[in-house]
């Protein structure tokens, strides 16, 4: 299978070329040339509903990787990613199900995605990316400098996935004073020599802008052998799409399943769209956003326009004003017209806002809805759903179920994207319950932190990477 850029003007590339590069030349994002059908046969649908997550992932990975990974090479990669879940039942540590479904009410389910090593949904994909990159780099005899901007959860998941890997140096950019203490410690306490946590004096959008600047400097990107593991990386989207397949096929006996997704960067929501394009029985996908509501405003008004700054909320991982993966869905809504996408993003870079063409807006509204939830609604939802203890991001999704303009077809699945113990102060203030960390990370607050503080300056980040990466040429 080949991959093309959302902004056109770049040759199609292989799976590993897309994964190792992260961004396409010219700043576009990679997507498959065509959408394959997965789990389409009756047996395939049964396996999607009843099989272990690792088996589903193996099928999806082989399809999207094509000849880049041999049939006998897929299982070792996937098993390395999900071995903690595969043997969890024997060790009594983690749930043996990677992404369990929990029923809240008749017709309402929560898909728990936080049972990985950093207690975030991003572990599901990044645990695959670790062995996947090892395989590709060994095959090509390469090293990488992986750079990651995080609003809180991606950084910790990237550290857990890539720490100690011989051919990778990881640089995590986190916004100063905009992540929880638990989130920060997952990034700063690994003790691994190849992990570098960098606190930027700015918000997440500033961190993300620095990462994009690094990639746009072609000479620097080449000499540093730069790559990324944010959701701009296609492998993240692929891996996340699999849990949509699993949940949808499990619950779709009477028709399509609606999903409500807490989102800021649109990556997880786009993963649901990918699953739908590949045959999963999915109806509406609702974007549940907080006060940083660029996606809700875009669908309501047709104007994609960032605010002057991101607002700090109870759900900090969603405090994002520029949703990187929205470019991928615009590419689809514009009938894969790379020139049109490039033009929109050039104007967006200049003015901070663009009008979505009417036909594309209509296409988006067919598949997506969006609801903005404020902090008061978030806290009330956390209280009202007890005894189920939800993190604030999960609470945004639960609140959106009732707030959506048109009733959703049942069943409805809300995504639980983080463990409540990652936000203990927020959860306790709303519910009176102080959630405890799981046993495998109960000593997190006793671990030694290591972090660098840098200004909001791409050149300062470049100097740090040059000094510390082993990939510099």
What is the per-residue pLDDT for 183?
92
Among residues 122, 276, 284, 422, the one annotated as catalytic is 122
Q: Is residue 26 part of a domain?
A: no
Enumerate helices (H) and strands (E) in the chain, giving the number of each: 20, 15
pLDDT band at 409 (very low <50, low <70, confident <90, very high): confident
DSSP conformational letter for 339: H
CA atoms within a 13 Å half-sphere pointing along the CA-CB vector of 178: 27
What is the per-residue pLDDT for 231?
87
Q: Which residues pair with 120 in a beta bridge?
A: 418
Question: What pLDDT, in 10s, does the model give residues 135-191?
Answer: 999 999 999 999 999 988 899 999 999 999 999 999 999 999 999 999 999 999 999
pLDDT greater than 60 at residue 338: yes
Q: Is residue 134 part of a domain?
A: no
CA atoms within a 13 Å half-sphere pointing along the CA-CB vector of 447: 19
Query: Does 122 qualify as catalytic in the annotation?
Result: yes
Q: Is residue 318 part of a domain?
A: yes
Distance CA 411, CA 389 (A): 21
Q: Is residue 444 part of a domain?
A: no
Alpha helices in 141-266 (DSSP H): 153-162, 181-188, 204-216, 218-223, 234-251
What is the per-residue pLDDT for 85?
62
Q: Is residue 162 part of a domain?
A: no
pLDDT greater than 50 at residue 79: yes
Mean pLDDT score across all residues of the chain = 93
Q: For residue 227, give the H/E element and its range.
A: strand 226-228
Contact between 137 and 470 (Cβ < 8 Å): no
CA distances from 356 to 40, 148, 305 (A): 33, 29, 10
Q: Which of 202, 154, 197 is nearest to 452 (CA)?
A: 197
Domain residues for 252?
101-118+234-431
Q: Is residue 412 part of a domain?
A: yes
CATH of residue 251's domain is: 3.40.50.1100
Q: Is residue 258 part of a domain?
A: yes
Q: Over pLDDT 90: what percentage of the chain?
A: 82
pLDDT greater than 50 at residue 92: no
**Helical axes 122-140 vs 234-251, angle rounded to 10°:** 130
Predicted model pTM = 0.92
Degrees (nearest 5) of the Cα angle 410, 119, 200?
115
pLDDT greater than 90 at residue 129: yes
pLDDT band at 96 (very low <50, low <70, confident <90, very high): low
CA atoms within a 13 Å half-sphere pointing along the CA-CB vector of 328: 27
Structural domain count, the chain: 1
Q: Is residue 239 part of a domain?
A: yes
CB contact set of 77 (below 8 Å; sequence gap of 6+): 61, 69, 128, 131, 132, 135
Q: Which of 370, 344, 410 is nearest to 28 (CA)?
A: 344
Contact between 72 and 62 (Cβ < 8 Å): no
Q: Which of 158, 267, 148, 157 is nearest to 211 (CA)?
A: 148
């Amino acid at each position: 299978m080949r991959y093309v850029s959302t902004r056109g003007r770049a040759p199609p590339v292989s799976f590993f070329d897309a994964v190792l590069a992260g961004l396409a030349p010219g700043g576009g994002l990679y997507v498959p040339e065509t959408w394959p059908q997965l789990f389409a046969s009756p047996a395939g649908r049964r396996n999607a509903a009843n099989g272990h997550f690792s088996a589903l992932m193996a099928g999806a990975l082989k399809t999207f990787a094509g000849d880049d990974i041999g049939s006998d090479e897929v299982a070792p990669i996937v098993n390395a990613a999900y071995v903690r879940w595969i043997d969890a039942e024997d060790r009594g540590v983690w749930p043996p199900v990677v992404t369990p479904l929990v029923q809240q009410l008749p017709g309402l389910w929560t898909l728990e995605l936080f049972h990985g090593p950093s207690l975030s949904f991003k572990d599901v994909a990044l645990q695959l990316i670790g062995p996947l990159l090892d395989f590709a780099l060994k095959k090509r005899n390469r090293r990488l400098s992986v750079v990651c901007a995080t609003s809180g959860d991606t950084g910790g998941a990237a550290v857990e996935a890539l720490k100690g890997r011989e051919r990778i140096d990881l640089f995590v950019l986190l916004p100063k004073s905009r992540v929880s203490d638990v989130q920060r410690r997952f990034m700063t306490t690994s003790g691994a020599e190849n992990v570098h946590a960098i606190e930027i004096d700015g918000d997440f959008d500033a961190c993300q802008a620095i990462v994009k600047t690094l990639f746009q400097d072609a000479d620097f990107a080449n000499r540093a052998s730069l790559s990324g593991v944010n959701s701009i990386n296609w492998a993240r989207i692929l891996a996340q799409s699999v849990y949509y397949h699993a949940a949808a096929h499990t619950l779709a006996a009477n028709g399509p399943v609606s999903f409500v997704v807490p989102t800021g960067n649109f990556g997880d929501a786009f993963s649901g769209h990918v699953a739908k394009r590949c045959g999963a029985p999915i109806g509406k996908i609702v974007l549940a956003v907080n006060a940083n509501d660029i996606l809700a405003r875009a669908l309501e008004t047709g104007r994609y326009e960032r605010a002057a700054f991101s607002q700090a909320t109870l759900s900090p991982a969603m405090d994002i004003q520029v949703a990187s993966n929205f470019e991928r869905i615009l590419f689809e809504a514009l009938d894969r017209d790379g020139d049109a996408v490039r033009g929109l993003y050039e104007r967006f870079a200049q003015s901070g806002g663009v009008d979505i063409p009417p036909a594309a807006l209509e296409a988006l509204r067919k598949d997506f809805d969006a609801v903005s939830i404020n902090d008061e609604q978030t806290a009330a939802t956390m209280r009202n759903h007890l005894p189920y203890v939800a993190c604030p991001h999960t609470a945004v999704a639960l609140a959106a179920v009732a707030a959506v303009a048109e009733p959703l077809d049942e069943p409805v699945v809300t995504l639980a994207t983080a463990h409540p113990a990652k936000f203990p102060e927020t959860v306790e203030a709303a519910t009176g319950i102080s959630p405890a960390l799981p046993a495998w990370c109960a000593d997190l607050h006793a671990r030694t932190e290591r972090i660098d503080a840098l200004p909001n300056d791409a050149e300062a980040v470049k100097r740090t990477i040059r000094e510390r990466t082993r990939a510099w040429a």
